Amino acid sequence: MINTELDQLYERRRGHWRENRRWSFVLLGLWLFSTLGLIYWPDAWDFQFLGWNFSFWLAAQGILLFYWLIVATYSAVMLRADRRWGLDEPDFED
């Protein structure tokens, strides 16, 4: 009986880790594209935005917002995955 419970826990953890890796690779890919594609190749983004060149605005402000969005997405997705795989921490009452 204990063996089957441990096997189930092992399978849940494997599934959770598989989902974690998939989302990590996707979000790291977005981070790589945004860093290299949008910052280091600014000639592709040569137009005016709020009175400044868009590439300057993107490097100064926009990319930071995008990084924050990546972190927030990862946090929300992993919270949902923890609940789905039954690996979330229980809420404790004071």
Are the C-beta atoms of 41 and 58 separated by less than 8 Å? no
Tokens of 84: 């789905």
Cα distance between residue 24 and residue 73, in whole Å: 10
Q: What is the pLDDT of residue 39?
A: 67
pLDDT of 85 above 60? yes
Q: What is the pLDDT of residue 23?
A: 96
Residue type at 71 in one-letter notation:
V
Q: What is the pLDDT of residue 24?
A: 96
Tokens of 76: 């929300």
Cα distance between residue 56 and residue 62, in whole Å: 9
Per-residue confidence at 94, pLDDT binned at 50, 70, 90? low
In tens, the pLDDT along 4-26 reads 888 888 898 999 999 999 999 99
In tens, the pLDDT along 70-83 reads 999 999 999 999 98
Are the C-beta atoms of 85 and 11 separated by less than 8 Å? no
